[in-house]
Amino acid sequence: SLLTFWDLPTTVQFTIEALPSSAAEGKDVLLRACNISETIQAYYWHKGKTAEGSPLIAGYLIDVQVNIPGTAYSGRETIYSNGSLLFQNVTLEDAGSYTLRTINANYDSDQATGQLHVHQNNVPGLPVGAVAGIVTGVLVGVALVAALVCFLLLARTGSIRRDLREQRPPASTPGHGPSHRYAFSAPLPGPRTATPLYEVSVGHGCSGPTGPKGPRIYSQQHLAELRFRKTQ
């Protein structure tokens, strides 16, 4: 007997891949359909984990090559002839699950689900860690400058106070007068510069230091004349 062997055709399940896997807000994202059968006649994209009960974004008919918008269509979605879905200018609200349902020539239906991830847009060219490090460095620098300025102001204020304290005369103690450091006194006259108030006359009828009428009081001019006469 002759045995004939043949391989039965197998159907490969198609998948959905997001490019990029995580997009920044405002960028474009492609939900690419992989391993699509050549017998597919129509594509239908839904926003949700399954096609059943999820709002329709848009459909694509291969025969006429036209996009048919659905209730969840925002004007930023485009379906290509290979079943891929392009999202333009994605937002944070666009993140979530998306399901592609296909219809083949025999009107058989199949579906696959993919994920769209969207994150907030950061500073171009700098990762989040670098931005946080820059902000921290700026704050630390501002704090150091403020501390230095305060230190200089306090040091200058203290120096001014010390100068004023040294220049200010000390307060005098009650009953004792001002300190000897700042008191000004006239020099005392020496014994040779002292001016006698009176001088006892010698002679002129007087028998001793005191005459009958007591000591005679002379003025300075008279005393000078008497001294001059004695030298003569």
Domain CATH code at residue 69: 2.60.40.10
- CA-wise closest residue to 45 among 21, 62, 22, 67: 67
Indicate whether 92 and 138 sit together in one domain: no
| Confidence (pLDDT) at 201 | 44
- Confidence check: pLDDT of 52 > 60: yes
- Confidence check: pLDDT of 3 > 50: no
3-state secondary structure 152-192: HHHHHHHHHHHHHHHHCCCCCECCCECCCCCCCCCCCCCCC
| Confidence (pLDDT) at 93 | 93
Q: Which of 70, 97, 119 is the last residue of a domain?
A: 119
Q: Which of 97, 119, 141 is the last residue of a domain?
A: 119
Indicate whether 27 and 64 sit together in one domain: yes
Q: Which of 212 and 149 is assigned the larger pLDDT?
A: 149
| Confidence (pLDDT) at 186 | 47
Indicate whether 38 and 74 sit together in one domain: yes
| Confidence (pLDDT) at 224 | 73
Phi, psi of 68, deg, nearest 5? -110, 110
- Confidence check: pLDDT of 17 > 90: yes
- Structural domain span for residue 76: 15-119
The pTM of this model reads: 0.50
117-172: pLDDT as tens digits: 999 986 555 666 777 788 888 998 999 999 888 888 888 787 766 766 666 665 55
77-96: pLDDT as tens digits: 999 999 999 999 999 999 99
112 belongs to a structural domain = yes
Residue 119 C-beta-side C-alpha neighbours within 13 Å: 8
Percent pLDDT > 90 in the chain is 43
Q: Mean pLDDT over residues 57-75, rounded?
A: 94
Indicate whether 34 and 98 sit together in one domain: yes
- Confidence check: pLDDT of 73 > 90: yes
Q: Which of 28 and 197 is assigned the larger pLDDT?
A: 28
**Is 73:86 a contact under the CB 8 Å cutoff?**
no
Enumerate residues 6+ apart whose C-beta is below 8 A from 56.
44, 45, 46, 70, 71, 72, 73
